[in-house]
Amino acid sequence: MTADALTALLPFIVLSAAAVAVMLAIAIRRSFRLVFWLTVGGLLAGLSTLPHASPVAPLQVTDLLRIDAYGLFFHALFLLSALVVALLCLAYFRRRENENEEIFVLLLTSTLGALLLVSSAHLAMFFLGLEVLTISLFPMIAYSVRASRPLEAGIKYLLLSGLASSFLMFGMALVYGDLGVLSFEQIGAHGAELEQKPLALAGLFLILAAIGFKLSLVPFHLWTPDVYQGAPAPVTAFLATVSKASVFALLLRFFTAAHAERSETFLCVLGLLAVVSILAGNLLALLQVSLKRLLAYSSIAHMGYLLTGFVAAGLLRRDLQTETIAFYLAAYTVTSLAAFGAISALSDDDRESDRLSDYAGLFWRSPWLAAVLTLSLLSLAGIPLTVGFVGKFYVFAVGVQAETWPLVATVVIGSGIGIYYYLRVVLTMIQPAGVGQRVTLHPAAGTALAAAALVILAAGLFPQPLIDAAANVPQPPPTADSP
């Protein structure tokens, strides 16, 4: 292994070492604060290795991993999100009644899984990364063991994830059985003849089903509201952002490497998934009285918007596709972190405040918190001056340019419905305050929320730096085109 390869692998090495170090620190002395600072140190160290890794990119490290600017952009995004989630955890577990230190080990390992996932160039690494991410998420979701909701959510996620993983495995087996290769690049070399290979095509659809489960696209979405509602709020924030964005980043890398965009069938299926996700997500969100469930359905709809951008931009140009997806994912991640962060700041491991009535009069009880939540909801709705608007504009623009009118119409209808239920939450917050007491904001949660809100506003007003970061992304692995 060359020095370059080791440099490129540094983010993974540092993050793995940090997870082991945090685990040993817990063994030596249980101190929530010490473990928190170690985790933050590990994440910052991981971030600081990214500038060293970027000059050697793009680089293929073994058959399994490919380090390129596309992956590094998402590495930075995930490490920063994990940092925000760590801050939220510090505030959320402030009562310190149980032994809560292990959540940081799990946070580090699941972040490692997400990083592996976006850099994978091989079906084996795809599976490994996904499992590292998912298996760390099971205990995180069921972390508050004394309550029944988290346990239920954990079991549901475990069973359904296992099912999705078996679909994924079967799909990979079919692809391997028909093509005899596992690396994305070699699968791409078969791209042109894919339509004539029924087994491999069936395999790709099974893989798509597994990815659809992780992204909670509509036929596979049933777990989302229950798990989002049951999991502790910081974990929900992680689940909604890092877990989903990493799988979507992988979807883009895998399907462009496999030249799936050449297949009409595939684009039709993806478009169909996008339409039903947007409609079902938005319509079901109308009925919710729990803010976490509402955001869960809204995330289903947002994955639909993303898929619309994926299909439409895929018809146009590769670089536009990466730019659209990377920007939208970054925007969605920041916005969701702010929204779930606000829920997390109002809850602790004893009581989750996720009912809409918990937010009545929040503007009078805690104006800053209410402002951040409003900002993130407006960004989710795609109101101008927020980063969500720029993201939605991208999706809209590529949809119009590619002349995919049914998709554009669905996005318009979905956004219209979306504004209604997002504003309903805002209206609840400005109702006259009842007997509610003032909310004291934990400094860690305050920092995390302020940072997220600043990014939403700054990137909404001056989107260019973020666009550049997302657009400098070169192609996912350049594939040797088959003649």
Partner 1 sequence: MSSAGVPHTDLWPLLLYFELVLVVVGTMLALPPFLGERRTRRTPATEQPYESGIVAVGSSQLRFSVRFYLIAIFFVIFDLEAVFIFAWAIAFRESGWPGYIEILIFIGVLVATLVYLWRIGALDWRTPRQRGIEATIHQ
* Number of residues in the chain: 483
Q: Which residue has the tokens 């809204």?
A: 298
User: Residues binding partner 1: what is the number (CB under 8 A)?
Assistant: 18
Q: Which is nearer to partner 1, 68 or 101 (CB)?
A: 101
Q: Which of 2, 6, 24, 465: binder of partner 1 (CB under 8 A)?
A: 24
Distance CA(49)–CA(61), nearest Å, equals 16
CB 290, CB 354: distance < 8 Å:
yes
What's the closest the beta carbon of residue 134 comes to partner 1, in angstroms? Answer: 17
In the list 5, 23, 59, 413, the residue contacting partner 1 (rule: CB under 8 A) is 23
Q: State the distance between the two ends of the chain, measured CA to CA, in whole angstroms.
A: 33
* Candidate ranges 20-28, 86-94, 368-376, 396-404; the one touching partner 1 (CB under 8 A): 20-28
Residue 259 Ramachandran class (φ > 0 left, ψ -120 to 50 alpha, else beta): left
Q: How far is the CB of 172 from partner 1 (least distance, A)?
A: 14
Give dist(CA 258, CA 454) in Å, integer: 38
Among 1, 437, 438, 440, indicate the residue that binds partner 1 (CB under 8 A): 1
Q: How far is the CB of 379 from partner 1 (least distance, A)?
A: 41
Q: Smaller CB distance to partner 1: residue 198 or 384? A: 198
Site for partner 1 in 27-56 (CB under 8 A): 27-28
Stretch that binds partner 1, among 23-31, 160-168, 219-227, 296-304 (CB under 8 A): 23-31
CB closer to partner 1 out of 63 and 319: 63
Residue 116 is a binding residue for partner 1 (CB under 8 A): no
Least separation, in Å, of the C-beta of 22 and partner 1?
A: 10
Site for partner 1 in 400-459 (CB under 8 A): none
CB of 86 to partner 1, least distance (A): 20
Q: Which residue lies nearer to partner 1 by CB, 28 or 435?
A: 28
- Cα dihedral 474, 244, 10, 27 in deg (nearest 10): 180
Taking the complex as a whole, the smallest distance from the CB of residue 263 to partner 1 amounts, in Å, to 18
The pair of three-digit structure tokens given for residue 430, joined into one six-digit string: 């400005």
Output 1 or 3, the one with its CB closest to partner 1.
Answer: 1
Instruction: Map the footprint of partner 1 across residues 174-203, applying CB under 8 A.
Output: 177-181, 186, 190, 197-200
Q: Which positions touch partner 1 (CB under 8 A)?
A: 1, 20, 23-24, 26-28, 177-181, 186, 190, 197-200
